[in-house]
Amino acid sequence: MHPINRRDFGIAVVAAMLLPVGAARAEDSAVPLAVHIDNFVFEPAQLTVKVGQTVTWTNRDDIPHTVVCAGKFRSKTMDTDGTFSFTFTAPGDYKYFCSLHPHMTGVVKVE
Amino acid sequence: MSDHDHHGDGVSRRKVLECMTWAGTGVLWTITGGVPRSLGIVDQALAAEPAGMTFLQISDSHVGFDKPANPNAIGTLEEAINKINAMPKKPSFMIHTGDITHLSKVKEFDDADRIISQAKLDVHYVPGEHDIIDEEVKLYKERYGRGTKGGGWYSFDAGGVHFVGLVNVANLKGGGLGSLGDDQLEWLEDDLKGKSKSTPVVLFAHIPLWTVYPQWGWGTEDGARALEYVKGFGSVTVLNGHIHQVMQKVEGNVTFHTARSTAFPQPAPGTAPSPGPMKVEDAKLRSLLGVASINFKQGNERLAIIDTPLQG
């Protein structure tokens, strides 16, 4: 399988432990913290989260993708079903793209 | 020439059968007098027995790819190499326009080497975006980057033609297309300086240097600058891969051509939700994969390009 999965599983566990903090506030419970890649598109392309929340990207294409936010974070290459998670610790707009297919872009707004 | 002959109304049964046996190989190019021309599929090219220098283009072998669009990308690469080995006239050398591997893994590079070396030809590579995604971004350069500049660009001369291998898959910016970058463009301008304008020039790179379909990232944002530098030359041929299908256009003295993949087809621009691998019926797959052969004959004005499907 993809070696990336085990590491990201660990991150996912950490994320799951952090989740109740965010979920404690009612208005956050409906916020999706997942971004899926289907057909070379980040969905949702714009996601708003709170400081401290973790977003997980999952590649559902048959082609590898990456998630890169200049100077902030850079995923390893995610093959099919590969994931990448990042915890946002400061507010701001985090514009990111796929370094392999740079026409693929998205943004995470951290409040 | 190229694809159109095989799908037109006047296709003979024999030609159809030929097409069916050769879907996924390469493009045979012949350079005659400066402008490369596609000779059509390889079998036709062989029949024509082109004089002059002939070289091959293969592309997008994606060794390691095992998804439904082609669970055996290694197998179809082997078929392509076998096809090349069966050519009665050995080409002078081969160019590979990138995406040698699918995920830049050591084993993928090893497998690709093992198979491609069976053609016993010199191979001039440029990287695709799939070849530079190892953690340290070093495997491609270790294997193919010796003697190259920057991210792996270089030039060489063969048979009276000046060949330039360009890298347009590195340091891409969000929202953008393929990119050559200032360093490489300055080097290119310098490299072409002092060359006689009658020297035929072949530029090859992974992503098309011309804008094929920007919505899918099929183009190079500063490709026009590279084309500016070759403007005065009498014969310019631009060979690319990346889009896994044959496309060709001629603009003045410049012929643009993209080669098929040896691994899996991709949809025509805008005909699918994404440019991802296109799953076709098993029986059809090999008609959409292939190689190109290019022939250059001194004194003629064109390089002849033959796209040959693995089966078709």
pLDDT digits (tens, 9 = 90+) for B94-149: 999 999 999 999 999 999 999 999 999 999 999 999 999 999 999 999 999 999 99
Question: A103 vs B135: CB contact, 8 Å cut-off?
Answer: no
Helix (H) and strand (E) counts for chain A? 1, 9
State whether A39 and B276 contact (CB < 8 Å).
yes
Does residue B44 carry a pLDDT above 80?
A: no
pLDDT value for A27 = 45
Render the burial of B189-206: b for 16+ CB within 10 Å, e for the rest.
eebbeeeeeeebbbbbbb
| Chain B: residue whose CA lies nearest to A61 | B276
Q: Which residues pair with A78 in a beta bridge?
A: A65
> Looking at residue B25, what is its pLDDT?
53
Among B168, B274, B278, B279, the strongest candidate for a mutation testing the A interface, having the largest count of A CBs within 10 A, is B274
Is the pLDDT at A13 greater than 50? The verdict is no
Mean pLDDT of all residues in B288-309? 85
**Residue A103 contacts B where some CB pair is shorter than 8 Å:** yes
Give the pLDDT of residue B301.
61
User: Chain A closest CA to B23's CA: distance in Å?
Assistant: 22
Tell me which residue of A55, A61, A21, A23 sits closest to A41, measured CA to CA: A61
Question: Span A16-26, mean pLDDT?
Answer: 40
Residue B157, pLDDT > 50, answer yes
Higher pLDDT, B203 or B44: B203
Most A CBs within 10 Å, among B70, B129, B169, to test the A interface: B129
Cα angle vertex B217, ends B216, B220, to 5°?
150
Residue B289, pLDDT above cutoff 60: yes
pLDDT at position A95 is 98
Pick B217's closest partner by Cβ from A62, A80, A102.
A102
- How close A63 gets to chain B, by Cα (Å)? 7
**A30-88 pLDDT, tens digit each:** 456 999 999 999 999 999 999 999 999 999 999 999 999 999 999 999 999 999 999 99
ipTM: 0.81
CA distance A100 to chain B (A): 6
- Residue B275 touches partner A, C-beta closer than 8 Å: yes
Residues of A with CB below 8 A from B104's CB? 77
How many CB pairs lie under 8 A apart between chains A and B? 59
State yes or no: pLDDT of B7 exceeds 60.
no
- The predicted-structure confidence for B184-194, as pLDDT tens digits, reads as follows 999 999 999 98
Tell me whether strands A105-110 and A46-49 are parallel, antiparallel or unpaired.
parallel
Contact criterion met (CB below 8 Å) for B238 and B257: yes
- Asked whether the predicted pLDDT for residue B219 surpasses 80, the reply is yes
Can you give the pTM of this predicted structure?
0.82
Superfamily the domain B4-25+43-309 falls into: Metallo-dependent phosphatases (3.60.21.10)
Q: Is A83 on the interface with B (CB under 8 A)?
A: no
User: Residue A64: which of B133, B177, B217 has the nearest Cβ?
Assistant: B133
Residue B303 pLDDT: 85
Give just the sign of the alpha carbon dihedral B30, B146, A98, B173.
negative
Cross-chain Cβ contact A102/B277 below 8 Å: no
pLDDT at position A16: 45
Cβ <8 Å between B177 and A103:
yes
- pLDDT beyond 60 at B216: yes
Q: Among candidates B147, B150, B101, B104, which has minimal Cα distance to B124?
A: B147
What kind of fold does domain A3-23+33-110 have according to CATH? Immunoglobulin-like (2.60.40)
B222 band by pLDDT with thresholds 50, 70 and 90:
very high
Nearest chain A Cα distance for residue B137, angstroms: 11
**Domain residue ranges in chain A:** 3-23+33-110
pLDDT at position B168, please?
98
Give the confidence band of B11 by pLDDT, cuts at 50, 70, 90: very low
Q: Which residue has the higher pLDDT, B31 or B215?
A: B215
Backbone angles phi, psi at B72, to 5 degrees: -130, 70
- Hey, which residues 212-251 in chain B have their CB within 8 Å of chain A? 214-217
Specify the pLDDT at position A1.
Answer: 42
- The whole-number average pLDDT for the span B199-208 is 97
Residue B176 touches partner A, C-beta closer than 8 Å: yes
Q: What pLDDT, on a 0 to 100 scale, did the predictor assign at position B89? A: 86
Hey, where are the domains in chain B?
Answer: 4-25+43-309
Distance in Å, alpha carbon of A101 to nearest chain B alpha carbon: 7
Is there a contact between B276 and A40 if contact means CB atoms under 8 Å apart?
A: yes
Hey, are the CB atoms on A62 and B173 less than 8 Å from each other? no
- Confidence (pLDDT) at B311: 86
Lowest average pLDDT, out of B3-12, B20-29, B46-55, B263-272, goes to B3-12
- Residues B250-254 have a mean pLDDT of 91
